[in-house]
Amino acid sequence: MPLISHTPAWKSLEQLWDRTAGLRMRDLFEEDPGRCERFSLEECGIHLDYSKNLITDETMQHLMALVRTADLRFWGDSLLRGDKVNNTEGRAVLHMALRNVGDRSYQVDGVDVMPGVRAVLKRMRAFADEVRQGRWLGHTGRPIRDVVSIGIGGSSLGPKMVCNALRPYQSHDLRVHFVSNVDGTQLVETLNGLDPATTLFVIASKTFTTQETSTNADSARAWCLAALQDQAAIARHFVAVSTNREAVIRFGIDPQNMFEFWEWVGGRYSLWSAIGLPIALAIGPDRFDELLAGAYAMDEHFVEAPPERNMPIILALLGIWYNNFGGADTQAVIPYDQYLEHFPTFLQQLDMESNGKRVTRDGVPVDYATGAVVWGQPGTDAQHSFFQLIHQGTRLIPTDFILPLRSQHPLEGHHDKLVANCLAQAQALMRGRTEAEARSELQAGGIAPEVIDRLVPHRTFPGNRPSNMLLVEQVTPKVLGSLIALYEHKVFVQGVVWGVDSFDQWGVELGKQLAGQILADFREIACSAGVDSSTASLIRRYHMAMSD
Ligand code: G6Q
**Residue 268 CA, closest ligand 1 atom number:** 7
- Selection from 457, 319, 333, 318 nearest residue 386 by Cα: 333
> Separation of 92 CA from ligand 1 center, angstroms?
16
Tens digits of residue pLDDT in 157-213: 999 999 999 999 998 899 999 999 999 999 999 999 999 999 999 999 999 999 999
Ligand 1: residues whose CB is within 6 Å?
152-155, 205-207, 210, 213, 266-268, 353, 505
Nearest atom (ligand 1) to Cα of 154: 10
pLDDT in the model for residue 525? 72
Query: Beta strand pairing status for 46-49 and 467-472?
Result: antiparallel
Closest residue to atom 10 of ligand 1, CA basis: 154
Assess whether pLDDT exceeds 90 at residue 296: yes
pLDDT digits (tens, 9 = 90+) for 394-431: 999 999 999 999 999 999 999 999 999 999 999 999 99
Closest by CA position to 484, among listed 204, 175, 276 = 276
* Local structure of residue 197 (DSSP, 8 states): G
Nearest residue to 253 (alpha-carbon basis) of 271, 237, 230: 237
Closest CA to 422 of 487, 482, 467: 467
Q: Is the per-residue pLDDT at 513 higher than 90? A: no
Active site residues: 353, 384, 512
* Mean pLDDT, residues 283-297 taken together: 98
Distance (Å, rounded) from C-alpha 344 to C-alpha 436? 37
Angle at 18 (CA atoms; ends 14, 24), nearest 5 degrees: 125
Distances from the Cα of 286 to the Cα of 103, 122, 169, 283, 448, angstroms? 19, 11, 11, 8, 65
CA distance 533 to 193: 44
Tally helices (H) and strands (E) across the chain.
24, 13
Distance CA 327, CA 537 (A): 39
DSSP label of 372: P
* Contacts of 196 by beta carbon, 8 Å cutoff, 6+ apart: 223, 224, 226, 227, 228, 237
Length of the chain: 548
Task: Residue 345: name the closest of 377, 315, 312 by CA.
Answer: 377
Nearest CA to ligand 1 atom 8: 267
Classify residue 369 as exposed, middle or buried by CB count within 10 Å of its CB (0-12, 13-18, 19+): middle
pLDDT digits (tens, 9 = 90+) for 444-463: 999 999 999 999 999 999 99
For the segment 253-264, the average pLDDT, to the nearest whole number, is 95
Rounded Cα–Cα distance for residues 21 and 120 (Å) = 53
Cis amide prior to 243 (ω within 30 degrees): no
Distance 383 CA to ligand 1 centre (A): 33
Distance 123 CA to ligand 1 centre (A): 23
Over residues 336-383, the pLDDT tens digits come to 999 999 999 999 999 999 999 999 999 999 999 999 999 999 999 999
pLDDT at 526 over 80: no
pLDDT of residue 272: 98
Q: How confident is the model at residue 516 (pLDDT cuts 50, 70, 90)?
A: confident
- Return the beta strands (E) in 208-355 as ranges: 238-242, 258-260, 330-335
CA gyration radius for the chain?
A: 26
Looking at residue 2, what is its pLDDT?
87
* Rounded (5°) CA angle 410-414-418: 110
β-bridge pairing 111-112 and 107-108: antiparallel
Determine which residue's CA is closest to atom 2 belonging to ligand 1.
Answer: 267
Neighbours of 346 (CB within 10 A): 26
